[in-house]
Chains A and B, each alone.
Chain A
Amino acid sequence: MPDDDVLLHVEHVSKTFGEIHACDDVSFDLWPGEVLGIVGESGSGKTTLLKCLAGREEPDSGLISYTNRRGEASDIFAMSEPERRMLARTDWGFVHQNPRDGLRLDITAGGNIGERLMMVGARHYGNIREEAETWMNRVELEFGRIDSPPRTFSGGMQQRLQIARNLVSGPRLVFMDEPTGGLDVSVQARLLDLLRELVRELQVAVVIVTHDLAVARLLSDRLMVMRRGAVVESGLTDQVLDDPQHEYSQLLVSSILQV
């Protein structure tokens, strides 16, 4: 049984695609406000794990249990599809690597933010508009672009809009899949700083998948290192990066080029 105050409890989760072990017996607990980084090479299973955690991919075996605002823990795959979808709207966020997967490109930026609010029950147009304006500002998007569709935005702006859309409804848990992945380095730095601030300010729990160890160091409290679907090492982020124990973690850390 999970601890009382655990937000997400993951127990022996496995998922195979044919012969490939995408996730192999993964277990961990996540507490409110905690940022967990999952690192590993492409193909290590980290994105598949993230999709399982977010209820988007059903594992072959194992338990993923989420504790809601009322303190009730439940197996997310024992829920009905509408229940799970409701959870994804009210309590969770999902930031895709490619912002086009997480935005509606043809409705306005303000609409993208407002839609998420309407999903959790906001009805008053003035309030929604005001909140959208606040969030444009918070993610450093020019206020004048609120009525433009994100199709006309740069990649960095789209990503910031996707973050605003996810955070506006006050989620308790946000999943992020390589959120800085496709961006230029200078744009990345700005986005990272923004994420760091927002995550701390809002006290939201985050599971972030990245192959970039610098991103992991900057954002996460804890790290899990994955290889071939299995977690080979986990611990405090600076411990794992400064004193890696497993052969594979040592290889990852020693492979970074010093600038």
Chain B
Amino acid sequence: MASKTETQTMIEVSGLSKAFVLHTQGSTRISVFEGLSMEVGAGECMALDGPSGAGKSTLMRILYANYRIDRGRIKVRHKGEMVDLASSAPRMVLEVRRRTLGYVSQFLRVIPRVATLDVVSEPLRALGVEEAEAHDRARTMLARVNVPERLWGLAPATFSGGEQQRVNVARGFVAELPILLLDEPTASLDAINRQCVMGLIDEAKTRGAAVVGIFHDHEVRDAVADSVFDMRETLAASGEAA
């Protein structure tokens, strides 16, 4: 076992504050985080835990730089250097997402007419992988998550929830990025496919990826998570600060 000090930090959040101001609804201000800090190392899977409304998905979106923040730093290790996403230019954020930061949401954002095989190989193509190789790797991944081959040439718009979820998982894992953010990756999956996703997470950890996840399924969480980040505490802290 590597000692704590030897593990390379992959994600380092410090002093994060985030509030939503709803201008269209009487400028209501909703404070979500006030001074949140966290750290995730290489090969570690951290589960975000807390009741609905505790800000788990908001934190995931912040880690992906999909949501902006009011104060603090969101540093991720990108090509060996810690890069602060909160202060990076859009094209830097896109570059970090391409090479470093993967995100598997609960829902697939379907693009009309784009075939499943292309949806899954896209992250590889964005990294400059040739089409033939990208397709090969996408096929392997689709087979692995049990998406029937007859669907690979179709756009996933008409697929079932579970099938779309698996396409999403395949797309998220295919490029083997160093950091993975998983928002309920097993939400609409049966036991076999849950096992399959757990296997993918284990492999990602073994190759040194840092994983942050929201897992409502306790069986999955207990199997893959090395640490739990309790969001109740951050909520309480925000309550005091407010």
Contact = CB atoms under 8 A, between A and B. Distances in A.
Contacts of B227: none
Interface in A67-118: none
B61 interface: yes
Given A236-B93, A251-B23, A251-B24, A243 B67 contact: yes
A251 B24 CA distance: 6
Interface string A242-258: 11011100110010000
A218 B111 contact: yes
Given A31-B91, A238-B66, A242-B66, A193 B23 contact: no
B189 interface: no
Nearest to B114: A193
B115 to A, nearest CB: 11
Contacts of B192: none
Contacts of A31: 91
A235 B90 contact: yes
Nearest to A249: B23
Contacts of B21: 245
Q: How large is the interface on A (under 10, 10 to 19, 20 to 34, 35 or more residues)?
A: 20 to 34
Name the residue in A34, A193, A196, A238 with the highest tally of chain B Cβ atoms < 10 Å from its Cβ: A238
B67 A242 contact: yes
B77 to A, nearest CB: 20
Nearest to A189: B112
Interface string A205-229: 0000000000000100110000000
A221 B91 CA distance: 8
A235 B229 CA distance: 30
Interface in B93-122: 93-94, 111-114
Contact of A236 (B23, B94, B112): B94
11 contacts: A192-B112, A235-B68, A236-B65, A236-B90, A239-B65, A239-B68, A243-B66, A247-B24, A250-B22, A251-B23, A251-B24
A-B interface, 7 closest residue pairs, ranked by CB to CB distance from nearest? A247-B23, A189-B112, A243-B67, A236-B90, A193-B113, A222-B90, A250-B23
Interface of A: 31, 34, 189-190, 192-193, 196, 218, 221-222, 235-236, 238-239, 242-243, 245-247, 250-251, 254
Given A245-B21, A250-B23, 11 more contacts: A31-B91, A189-B112, A193-B113, A218-B111, A221-B90, A235-B68, A236-B65, A242-B67, A243-B66, A246-B23, A251-B24
